[in-house]
Chains A and B, each alone.
Chain A
């Protein structure tokens, strides 16, 4: 069910990533202030934006799960958060590399943007122990959904608070007062954002497909392990 359309989506993701990376290195002009180091921006910022949207998507799916009690939405919520956490690791590492190259430090503790992202990341890092500490499947899904909704609501609030705080060193991607980015840079950034968003969607679909297949095999094994009653098989209805 989840694997439908995975192949064209994967091909589109690879094509978009190839086009975007070509734009980053052969089309986008060098930044007058930071020079070549600014190229990190094209991987770091899209990853951060998509990771934050992934966390919020996890919250939206969790709301759908709480409303319908359909385990499908819980799976969507879990996988969205899972992939967003992986993207979050990439954001923190690429950010640290960019900080070292630009500011001479791997991390700056008095910079609200960095610290707020770390707080969001650490908050979601607690999702796994919280979820798997509960043995009962229904309770686990319900409590994880409540966590995802609460944490998902925290993400935009946190983002707005950071935007309102005066930044000392961290650049603003869509600055309005300073005029923003030149056209070529903006186009490259938007292409990279689309590529990373496609990558996120592909990985979510891939993970869901693998989880679904694993679940189906477990159900099949349980059905086969059960004692046979009469001539009818219990396998077919469960798999279909």
Chain B
């Protein structure tokens, strides 16, 4: 352990890669997280589109019998 304490400071060219490594790890984790969240948001958007289509189809189905009745009324 005394050897560890006595370790001298690394020269800039060697220390630079460690410092860059640490900051790149931070950045990569952030980018990976944002990419995962972007995929999640895309999935939500797709689901929302499907639900909107479902709602529209349902609305059409509900409106159809009403229209048929309106169309049939003058003939009656």
Contacts and interface: CB of A to CB of B under 8 A. Distances in A.
B26 A90 contact: yes
Mostly helix, strand, loop or mixed at chain B's interface?
Answer: helix
B33 A203 contact: yes
Interface string A209-240: 01001100110110011001001000100000
B58 A224 contact: yes
A35 interface: yes
Interface in B1-30: 1, 4-5, 7, 9-12, 15-16, 18-19, 21-23, 25-26, 29-30
Nearest to B57: A224
Contact of B26 (A47, A210, A221, A228): A47
Contacts, number: 97
Chain A residues touching B, range: 35 or more
Interface residues of B, number: 33
Interface stretch (A38-46, A126-134, A180-188): A38-46
A168 B6 CA distance: 12
Nearest to A219: B51
Contacts of A225: 54
Contact of B41 (A104, A210, A228): A210
Given A214-B44, A228-B62, A104 B54 contact: no
Contact of A37 (B9, B25, B33, B55): B9
Mostly helix, strand, loop or mixed at chain A's interface?
Answer: helix
Contacts of B5: 168-169
Interface in A197-215: 199, 203, 206-207, 210, 213-214
B48 A217 contact: yes
14 contacts: A35-B12, A37-B15, A40-B22, A90-B25, A94-B22, A97-B18, A101-B19, A104-B7, A169-B1, A169-B5, A217-B48, A221-B51, A221-B54, A231-B62
Interface of B: 1, 4-5, 7, 9-12, 15-16, 18-19, 21-23, 25-26, 29-30, 33, 37, 40-41, 43-44, 47-48, 50-51, 54-55, 58, 62
